[in-house]
Amino acid sequence: MIVTVTLNPAIDISYRVNNFKINKGHRVENGIKTAGGKGLNVSRVLKQLGENPLCLGFLGGQNGEWIKRHIGNEGLEESFTQIREETRTCLAFLDEENSTQTELMEKGPMVAEEDINNFSEKYKHLLEEATMVIASGSLPAGLSVDFYREIAEKAKESNVPFILDTSGISLELAIEGKPFLIKPNKDEICQFAKRSDLSFQEMIDVAREICNKGVDYVLISLGADGAVFVGSDTTLRAEIPVISVVNPVGSGDSMVAGMAFALHNHYDIEECLKWACACGISNALQETTGKIDPELVGDLLTKIKVTPL
């Protein structure tokens, strides 16, 4: 069983607002409301690939109930930990005329100590049956910044591969917990290296340093430039076909799902990288975040070129 962890989910509402202007009121069509969170996107893509992941994290209040109902309708299994405070809402204003996207992201609820204990208890039990854990996204208030390190360590003690997609200080600290795989994008690897930019070779060097700290694999996603995959004795580059992007939001999450699916099914490492990229690309070709076209993924697999470096 694959377990996904979304610690700070949100109700995402997006509005189409042409000529969005500060200091002005706008009349808009009703917003499109979705159950958001990087781990939920990973779960959706895994589901489309035929897996049946179990979604964990924290949910509270009416927003939490809404998300539970919604993901249930999507056929996802969940065992979220109930919290007292309200799950957050994030708003996006899409202005097609000016090609801008303005977002308001609430910080989210404060998770109480009791909630953390409840989650940890559940997590500990699930590690007995889990075959993989995938954790994605930011941490809500109340959780210590080394929470990912803690849950990565517990997974390692139970011999369960732990895949992590997060950034900043929580990523830095989590590396000490020796996750199996991390998936930074270019900005995140630069942030990790405390550099404003890195050349391709420098990114590989940083990834190798991370592997030396006990992380098995570093998958660096490079948007339209594909990806580079570094392990202690492997460095692979994936070159991908040029596409007309529809909506790249969630491509990183889809990539994580594709990689997790292929690893879970014991594909060889070059094939895993192809699955990761194919799912990322397929998501970028869809309007909906966290959606892929499995048939197109099959076709894309033949068009991605993987070269050992």
Binding region for ligand ADP (CB under 6 A) out of 65-73, 135-143, 150-158, 279-287? 279-287
Distance CA 176, CA 167 (A): 14
Binds ligand ADP (CB under 6 A): choice among 32, 104, 169, 224 = 224
Does position 243 bind ligand ADP by CB under 6 A? yes
* Least distance (Å) between residue 53 CB and ligand ADP: 19
Concatenated DSSP letters for 1-47?
-EEEEESS-EEEEEEE-TT--TT-----PPPEEEEE-HHHHHHHHHH
Cβ–Cβ under 8 Å, residues 271 and 302: no
Range 250-269, binding ligand ADP (CB under 6 A): 251-252, 255
**78, HSE (Cβ side, Cα atoms, 13 Å):** 28
Binding region for ligand ADP (CB under 6 A) out of 42-50, 52-60, 112-120, 241-249? 241-249
Binding region for ligand ADP (CB under 6 A) out of 50-58, 93-101, 156-164, 274-282? 274-282
Binds ligand ADP (CB under 6 A): choice among 203, 236, 277, 306 = 277
Binds ligand ADP (CB under 6 A): choice among 240, 272, 273, 306 = 240
Range 55-114, binding ligand ADP (CB under 6 A): none
Cβ–Cβ under 8 Å, residues 218 and 182: yes
Does position 245 bind ligand ADP by CB under 6 A? yes
Return the structure tokens found at 269. 């490492």
In terms of C-beta density within 10 A (0-12 exposed, 13-18 middle, 19 or more buried), how is residue 69 classed? exposed
Does position 170 bind ligand ADP by CB under 6 A? no
Rg, the chain, Cα only: 19
Active-site residue flag, 216: no
Of the residues 95, 205, 253, 299, only one is catalytic, namely: 253
Does position 198 bind ligand ADP by CB under 6 A? no
Binding region for ligand ADP (CB under 6 A) out of 113-121, 131-139, 224-232, 289-297? 224-232
Binds ligand ADP (CB under 6 A): choice among 185, 211, 273, 297 = 185
CA 37 to chain centre: 8
Number of residues that bind ligand ADP (CB under 6 A): 18
In terms of C-beta density within 10 A (0-12 exposed, 13-18 middle, 19 or more buried), how is residue 205 classed? middle
DSSP classification of residue 255: H
Does position 226 bind ligand ADP by CB under 6 A? yes
Count Cβ atoms below 10 Å from residue 113 Cβ, excluding itself: 8
3-class DSSP state for residue 243? coil
Binding footprint of ligand ADP on the chain (CB under 6 A): 185, 221-224, 226-227, 240, 243, 245, 248, 251-252, 255, 277, 280-281, 284
Residues classed as catalytic: 253
